Amino acid sequence: MKNKLTKIELLQLLDKIMQPKVYGISETEGNEVLLAFCAGCPDPVKARWLVVDCLDPMTDEELVDRALAMPLRKMADVPLSELPEGHPLRTMAE
């Protein structure tokens, strides 16, 4: 399983995700940063949900704390209904 990132590292990646224009990153680069953020969390699938779909108002630090508080989840245990077989997170987060 890939080494998980520290809180500081996740906050730095999240800042790039939330402010792509400030960092001058393209949409493709932004997607790569999102994947790196998710792969660096204990549960990459739920971390992606937190960033992309969760509507709860929270600060970046609260989001990272929630992501880090999730139990460790192996990609082999994630059903195809949650994450398609060819999704990059399946290999990045192993």
In three state form, how does the secondary structure of 20-67 look?
Answer: HHHHCCCHHHHHHHHHHHHHCCCCHHHHHHHHHCCCCCCCHHHHHHHH
**Predicted local confidence at residue 64, as pLDDT:** 97
Find where tokens 């730095």 sit: 12
Chain centroid to Cα 79, Å, comes to: 18
Single-letter amino acid, residue 32: E
Q: What is the DSSP letter of 83?
A: S
Distance in angstroms (rounded) separating the CA atoms of residues 6 and 80: 28
The pLDDT assigned to 2 comes to 66
Residue 88's pLDDT is 92
Positions of the chain with pLDDT lower than 70, given as ranges: 1-2
pTM of the predicted model as reported, rounded to 2 decimal places: 0.90
User: Do 2 and 44 touch, CB atoms closer than 8 A?
Assistant: no
